[in-house]
Structure 1
Amino acid sequence: MASASFLTKSLPHRAITCLPRTPTSSHTRRRFASPRCGPADQAPVNLLTAAQERAGRRAIESSREEPLFHDPYAACLADVEQPVVDAGGDGVGYYELATRFIDEELMEAVASGGDAPLRQVVLLTDGMDTRPYRLPWPSATTVFDVSPSATHNVAVERLEAVGARIRRGCMLRHVSVELSEDGDWTDESWERNLVSVGYHGTRPSIWAMQGLQTLTAEGLKVILRCVSTLAMKDSVFLGELRCSAISDNPQVF
């Protein structure tokens, strides 16, 4: 698996923070000055299987005595043909650290007061992100899940079966993204679809990206272009970024 960077962007400025790929026994959040990039995966990726594997990792972390986060819905999304089993050990991988980091940043952003409280959350996901259901969103928050329908539809069916619901007083909207044949995010139609389901560019927003395993530099540029078009000044863009999305085109940043 390729290593992953962590990107945080406060429009119009941005900075990259990198999370370690190797396991660590500490739950302390770390930041590094520059990305540590590994070789990109060569084999085609089954998006549904990959999303279910990530759900399995969240389920394992949630079952620990002192977890970085608690995802009560992850187990129902994991591959039913491959039971979730903790391999043991106290190591924590970059994905778990990234999940905790994103959770904290989202909660900190929506908790901030001021004249224009942040109540628009846009999640760019693999379709199996449970944050709309498991995080304590303030009342009047609208969460937009932008993800491939193929995985999202599977997730919705399973989540409804276990009674998952977004918090009272909040709204959840799904926006389908059409991936390219190789799984890249080069389709820009989700930009106008996001607006059509209620996103307001005149209101502050926070954007979080995680689980985009097949994202390339070209797809990343499309995402950044869409975010820059839709997000007003002082909005925030953050997330887990595969190094393969920037290693072949460092000029993106």
Structure 2
Amino acid sequence: MTDELIAGTVTITGNGGDEIEAYAARPTDAAPRGGVVVIHHMPGYDASTKEMVRRFAAEGYNAICPNLYAREAPGADPDDAAATVRAAGGVPDDRLVGDVSGAADYLKALENANGRVGVIGHCSGGRQAFLVGCSIDVDAAVDCYGAFVVNDPPEAMKFMKPLLGMASNLSCPLLGIFGADDKFPSPDEVAVLAAELEKLGKEHEFHTYADAGHAFFAVDRPSYRPEAAKDGWERILDFYSRTLSA
């Protein structure tokens, strides 16, 4: 790990050429390194997500999180921005992919980039990490309990649809982290996704934790499960060390 980081708000070119806000962090040294795009969860572009960006930088990666709600609620409190986006039915999938692609391009353009980029997301971001892996070329994807990859989303989330039919387009190794007590996605949904990836010959590794439900990584929620979260972080970092090294 490194203690010297550069972190702060940047502007990137997102979907359709839109200039959007993002939060980036990277080590200060010039050694070549991979990049990680953090896709924030439905609660938004918040402090815990920015902390995750810094964690990846401390672990030796260039990292960035695009503000997916920048158009609907620029400069708004994360809770207010999330409420606005929920009321609108969520973020369109094609726009999400364009914004993440722009974030990946930002990472690849850094002087110390080694050209390899992974994505990660939790909850809605987990679904979107899988979507990105099936939509553009990335080097690794991490889905942390992403719901509605297999099953239909609620009607209110009008821009979401199941993604299982896109599995044949998965461009990279996929790491899945799930809770056995989760309902979104349930273990049955995870099993369906695993079976489809196995059938298609797509490289993947899934880990499901007993006595853990949704959002077990979230240290500020009652759902937090320290042992599962610690092991999950270790698996994520091991996965990226294997997939994002030059």
TM-score (norm 2): 0.36
TM-score (norm 1): 0.36
Q: Name whichever structure is richer in helix by fraction.
A: 2
Which protein, 1 or 2, shows the higher relative CO under an 8 Å CA cutoff with sep ≥ 6?
1
